[in-house]
Structure formats: structure tokens, C-alpha cells
Chains A and B, each alone.
Chain A
């Protein structure tokens, strides 16, 4: 396998982008990544998108996006793994470059959620239609059940959950691309309306439009594009039971642990070696479960980590310096690539006010559904 580097990145602002179509957003992010690297060619591209079909009635996204990028002719593939689609796009691009099959490959993630679709129902297609959605459960409902199981098993409190939102909004306030770049207080979180008990509105990531893209090439070719490439040193992907009811422990995310273990093994490191991480905080409880499954905190001990500052900027392992899905926004298919861009910036020392000092190794974890799929990548600055 060849060593692979990221040499360029581009993304749209995240938010309700009424003036942008799905293709507009893709073109802005993808051409941004190409310009960032000074690249004028592509061998192949991957487009991560959960559901162009249901959100805007558009499938066949590979050729459509290649065409609009002015790159008709290149190989282009749409990949889907619900909210982990972006992470999977990166993994596919990484494998294609590592294998020697292609040299210059774009990994993009896109989602247009604010175009009139019934978002709750579209997102619910990432859960088990026959055994879960049929009976009236929603995504916040599934994560609420994970939260309640965590509370029951480990004594995690609603305040512990709320601190994750407070922390991530504080960090997101420093991110000019974020959908909600503003701080929230503990009281605001604790008094926000209930979406699915015990989860409140400010425990949930928002509905977002956005796109993000990164450009990959072999490490030995990276100097052609940039003086500061970032190596991909580990990649892992795993699946778990689709339905929450089929998991032995509903408070633990097996797929996250497995995908993390694979990535750590490939990188030859452990959780203590990671300086900065982006994890999939689609709901506050998800950040708690993911930090446990990735080994940043002990199993069952993730609850107080945000409140105690362990996972905050300046803490032992800063998590979601971008603001996370919570504050930055969660255009589902784009999220995995946006996480990658945050780590890319951190490892190049370009994260501005939210820079983690001396960050050398970073991790991004992207999850699909209620944890049925998870992708982890580990990056190292050069």
C-alpha cells in the first residue's frame, strides 16, 4: 500500500442555504479543494450523500457532480452509509490511492436537507423500517433510548448531556463556517423544549445544507500540491446491529469500538496518542458513547467528561473543536468530510482561535444511523 496524503480542502458554510442547490454546494466545496491544492486534474472522485433521492429527488450523483465540476469523463461514484456517507467516501478514496489504482482523487460529502422534504421521515430511513419506524420511532427517539439506557446503567445525568452541547457551542462559536456559531448556557439547554425525552432541542444537531471536499494523492506526490500535506495513517470501518433492540447493550456502540480498533491498529497508535478528535455528536449522548467506544474515556465514564473540561479545548483530549455536528451543523452526507477538514486544519496549525497546541495526530469518527455503521480515520501532520 502507498502512503496517502490530503493536500487540499474546501467547504461551504453550513446552514440553511436557500440560494444553493445540491450541485451548487458540491461545486463550491470541490472547486475549493482543487484550488487549495492548485490541482487541475482528477483521476477519480467519490461523492458521499445519504439521500439525494429523497431530499431533492436526485440520484446518479457521481456523473452529475463530475459534470458540474467540469470534470465529465472521470470515474465518479456515489457512496451511501446514511450519516456516515462522507466518511465512507474518504475511505474509498484513500483505498483507491493507496492501492495505486489512481493518483489524484477527490472525496466529497454533500446534503441538501432544507428543500421541502419531510426531514424526519427521510432520516428515519436510516433506521430499521420494519421493526422500528413502523411503530412511530424517530431518530431523536432512538438516541433518547440510548441516553436513557446510559443513565440507567452508569448514572449519567441530563446535566452531563447538556454540558456536551454547552462545550460544543462554545467551540463552534469560533468557527465561521458553523450554522450556529454562538454559545449556549447550561440553563438554555436544560430548559429547551423536549424532542424525545430525555433529549431536548439543544441536545440535537440541526437540519443543515452543506458540502465539503478533500483532495487525496500519494504522499510522494504531495509536494506538487502543498508544503503541508496531512497523512492518512489509519482507516477503519465496522457495522453493528441495525435495530437498537438487537444490541446486547443499548448504551454501547459496538461499531464505533470496532472501527476505532481497526484504525488504531493500522496507525500503530492508541487513544492516548490522539491530540484532537472530531466525533459524531448528532445528539449529545452520541458524543458520550463515542468517546467511550474510542477509548478516550473508560466505558460508562463519558458522562462528566465535557463538564470537567476533559474533552474541551485546552483539556486532555479536545473533542469537536469545530463545534461538532451540534453547533457546526449536520448536513448528513457532508459531515464525515467536514470532520476531516477540521482535523486537516488542526494538524496544519490553521485552526485559528480554536487551534489545539502542538496537534500532531488527529482522529475523525463518523457514524451512520443509530450506530449501525461507523468509520474512523486517523491523520498525522507531516
Chain B
């Protein structure tokens, strides 16, 4: 990933910054310029709480090259108490136990090392709720 793009995504990935639509209240994560539910353009910044619930999940056995060493790993769509939904890995547990309804905490982790230059890409991963 080109480093300008990586830098641009830091608020989203490092700080879990979302945007609440001032018109309809929908929480958009990552932030958008236009709200997909009401097309409003005014937002207030919001930091997501670091906990979420699994909506649906899978265990990836055949991964992309960058994740070869990690397979099999669990991935899930999770929802935070603010109503933001996003994709994340769920780690530090048997991946087959990551099922809809599971509570997770979100922790700052290394996500991937990219390309030959090995840029370290960070973000959040789910772990079983404490």
C-alpha cells in the first residue's frame, strides 16, 4: 500500500474515529463525506468504544499471501455499542469458537506486513471479551 494512503487511513485504523450524521444519527465507520442513509453532509466526530459483538463470522483456511502464516484465522463482522459495523479478525482464541453473538474487545494490533519493503500495517483486532 502506498504510504500516503496508509497515512490517510490512520485516524480510522489507529483511533477508531467514526462520524455520526448530524441529520439522521447514523454512525458511519470509516467516516464518509455523504451519509449513505440520508445523504446528509454534516457529521460530528465520534470515537468508537473498544468493544463489539459478532454479527457473522468465518474461519479463513485459504488466505491471501500476506496472511499465509496466520491461517486458519477467524474473521467477523462486528457491531459496536454505537451501531458501527466493520470487518475485523478475532484472535487469541480457537477460531472455530468465533460465532454470531460473541462479545469481543478491540485491541490495537499489527494487521499485516506489506510487500518487500515490509511496511507494518496496524489496526484493531477483536479478542474474547474480558
Contacts and interface: CB of A to CB of B under 8 A. Distances in A.
A135 B36 contact: no
Contacts of A245: 55, 77, 85-87
Contact of B56 (A130, A132, A246, A250): A250
B126 to A, nearest CB: 10
A192 to B, nearest CB: 12
Nearest to B100: A152
A135 B59 contact: no
A324 B97 CA distance: 33
A135 B100 contact: no
Interface in B35-90: 36, 55-67, 70, 72-73, 75-77, 85-89
A198 B55 CA distance: 15
Chain B residues touching A, majority SS: strand
B123 A196 contact: no
B87 A243 contact: yes
Nearest to A244: B77
Nearest to B77: A245
Contacts of B100: 148-149, 152
A145 interface: yes
**Max chain B Cβ within 10 angstroms of own Cβ: one of A133, A146, A194, A196:** A196
B118 to A, nearest CB: 16
A103 to B, nearest CB: 40
Interface in A171-221: 193-199
B66 A145 contact: no
Nearest to A130: B9
A243 B58 CA distance: 16
Interface string A141-161: 100111011001000000000
B15 interface: no
Interface residues of B, number: 35
A196 B61 contact: yes
Contacts, number: 100
Nearest to B95: A197
Given A130-B30, A197-B96, A121 B64 contact: yes
**Max chain B Cβ within 10 angstroms of own Cβ: one of A141, A144, A195, A246:** A141
Contact of B65 (A121, A132, A135): A121
B85 A197 contact: no
Contact of A120 (B59, B62, B75, B112): B62
B65 A134 contact: no
Nearest to A152: B100
B86 to A, nearest CB: 5
Contacts of B30: 130-131
Contact of B86 (A131, A136, A144, A149): A131
Contact of B75 (A118, A130, A136): A136
A146 B76 CA distance: 11
A35 interface: no
B58 A196 contact: yes
Nearest to A118: B65
B64 A135 contact: no
Given A131-B30, A148-B56, A149-B55, A140 B88 contact: no
A137 interface: yes
Given A149-B56, A245-B86, A136 B63 contact: yes
A246 B36 CA distance: 9
A152 B56 contact: yes
Contacts of B59: 194, 196-197
B64 A136 contact: yes
A197 B61 contact: yes
A138 interface: yes
B62 A137 contact: no
B111 interface: yes
A250 B89 contact: no
A244 B87 contact: yes
Nearest to A136: B67
Given A131-B30, A149-B55, A245-B87, A136 B112 contact: yes
B121 interface: yes
Q: Which 7 A-B pairs have the closest CB atoms?
A: A144-B58, A149-B56, A197-B59, A245-B85, A136-B67, A145-B56, A245-B77
Given A145-B76, A148-B58, A245-B86, 16 more contacts: A118-B65, A121-B64, A131-B30, A134-B1, A134-B121, A135-B75, A135-B89, A135-B123, A136-B63, A136-B75, A138-B60, A138-B63, A145-B75, A193-B61, A194-B59, A245-B55
19 contacts: A130-B9, A131-B86, A135-B87, A135-B89, A135-B123, A136-B73, A136-B75, A136-B89, A138-B60, A144-B58, A146-B56, A149-B56, A195-B62, A196-B60, A196-B61, A243-B86, A243-B87, A245-B85, A250-B55
